[in-house]
Amino acid sequence: MLNEIEEFKAYTDKPAYKCSGKRDLSFLGRFSFEMMKEFTGLSRVLTIIARGYMFRNGAPDVVYARRALCAWCSIPDKKTAAPKEEWQFKTDFSDLHEEFPELVDKTGKGWFYRHVHKVERFITKNSDNVSKTTLSNAEPLKTKFDAAWRDKVKQYQVSLYSPETKGA
């Protein structure tokens, strides 16, 4: 059986970015490159985070858990982004920094966004200590992650029962 509290901490505490050799991928934490590039397995991560915040007072608080997830998933708006209309899904949850300072910073960089970019910078900075395969995984994180993650955060906000989805 997994220790869900330890797993929750792995997704919300500050990870250590270090490695002891070319085969050591401990700087990824509990993530894999596939999770960071393709977002596979993230539903489990989001479930663990939601559970960790949902029962903070003993009784389930779905609204609080949803705000925590939004903070964790936050990605800052592009500098050239037009202001969002009320009906549009937002991706920048910097307004939740006061409530969840461990999950989102003042600029709207959520925990996952910061982690992925720190992994990419760590790999680039320590290119001598990582394998060629690991080094090749850093480039997509630098160039493609932001746009893909922004789209995924919007997708996560769409109701399963929305008449606007493909499945409708």
**Token pair for residue 162?**
């929305």
Residue 34 has a pLDDT of 93
Give whole-number Cα distances, 61 to 32, 67, 68, 94, 159, in Å: 30, 10, 11, 21, 19
Q: What is the DSSP letter of 70?
A: H
Please tell me the least confidently modeled range out of 14-23, 62-71, 106-115, 159-168: 159-168
In this prediction, residues 125-150 reach a mean pLDDT of: 91
Residue 26 has a pLDDT of 85
Flag whether pLDDT at 39 surpasses 90: yes
Give the separation between CA 152 and CA 158, rounded to whole angstroms. 10
Residue 81 has a pLDDT of 64
Mean pLDDT value across the chain: 88
**Token pair for residue 13?**
């505490």
Decide if 107 contacts 76 (C-beta within 8 A). Answer: yes
pLDDT in tens, 69-96: 999 999 998 776 666 666 568 899 999 9
Find, among 39, 72, 48, 24, the residue nearest to 145 by Cα: 39
In this prediction, residues 50-57 reach a mean pLDDT of: 89
Please compute, for residue 157, the number of CA atoms within 13 A of its CA located in the half-sphere on the CB side.
19
Give whole-number Cα distances, 27 to 18, 57, 146, in Å: 5, 33, 20
β-pair partners for 110: 104
Residue 1 has a pLDDT of 40
Q: Which residue bears the tokens 């939740």?
A: 96
Q: Name the more confident of 136 and 160.
A: 136
CA 161 vs. chain centroid, Å, equals 24
Whole-model pTM above 0.75?
A: yes
